[in-house]
Amino acid sequence: MSEKKPQRVLITGCQGQVGHALVQRLAPDFQPIGYDRSGLDLSDLDRLADKLHAAIEAHQPSALINAAAFTAVDRAESQESLAYDINALAPGIMATVAASHGLPMVHYSTDYVFDGQRDGAYSENDPTSPLSVYGRSKLAGEKAVVAANGPHLILRTSWVFGAHGQNFLKTMLRLAQERDALRVVNDQIGAPTSAELIAQSTHTALTSLIGGADARDPRWGIYHLTASGHTSWHSYAKHLIARARAIGWPICVEDDAVEGIAAQDYPVAAARPMNSRLDTTKWQQAFGETLPNWQVGVDQVLTNIPLQP
């Protein structure tokens, strides 16, 4: 009896944090076919549909995963058209193409679709009200994916980090080796979520949904997917700096020299939600997955980044 071949999945944005983690995690159970910007440029809207049709015909995948996005939150304020092209219009085109081939689509979204004024964690049914161009463009992308009427997973996550790519964790790690004092915002709350956790959870869902389920499976839809627990940027920084010091990183800044400041004292172009907590109950119930605390992901990623001399 011949061994069953893994199902192929197309992944856009394979060089980004989440895309890179997906390529690493989905194999060997799935065969990831990764496309970076040179292979599939989401800003080239005139040719995107044709290129995607060709890629699907060539590889015959079982699912399309869009891990590409315009994530420069502050730059989006001055590059609104480009942000909408990549975050809203392109996902709509992709979802329409996927639906025409009968393919499910996985698309990643963000806590920035909310205004952050809620006291507790946001559920999937809470009203959206983004504060920034980035948030509005990502919300428009969600709506475009839904409007294509194909089977889809839209996974809203927050504060993404990983060993690959640029992120808050790696910035803090670099600064903590260069400076003897740091100032970090302490009144914005969320759940730091590793790209590796997002990739693992995507694997869990795909294994369940495309391994025999169909487009009528009620588990398709919008979910919140973050690590468990919550923290501030300031407490997050203090935790990772302490852990980095403990495992041998040449940290210069002392624990008591990491100062907490208000968001208003760190002016940026785009407004951020003050509360980015997302309720993941729906995800955990649908896919039976227990999501680890945010510190677990931070500690794991720290051990996967080579020590800098």
Query: Which amino acids are annotated catalytic?
Result: 134
Best CA proximity match to 53, nearest among 106, 9, 107, 96:
96
Distances (CA, A) of 242 to 90, 92, 278: 41, 43, 26
Name the CATH code of domain 7-304 (choices 3.40.1110.10, 1.10.3720.10, 3.90.1170.50, 3.40.50.720).
3.40.50.720
Using only C-alpha atoms, the chain has a radius of gyration, in whole angstroms, of 19
Q: What is the biggest distance separating any 2 CA atoms in the chain, rounded to whole angstroms?
A: 66
* pLDDT score of 2 more than 60: no
* pLDDT score of 3 more than 70: no
Q: Sketch the domain layout of the chain as residue ranges.
A: 7-304
Query: pTM here?
Result: 0.94
- Mean of all residue pLDDT scores within the chain: 93
Residue 6 confidence (pLDDT): 80
User: How does pLDDT run across 54-69, given as a tens digit for each residue?
Assistant: 999 999 999 999 999 9
Q: Residue 63's beta-bridge partner residues?
A: 9
> Under 8 Å CB-to-CB from 147, ≥6 apart: which residues?
92, 95
User: How does pLDDT run across 193-230, given as a tens digit for each residue?
Assistant: 999 999 999 999 999 998 654 668 899 999 999 999 99
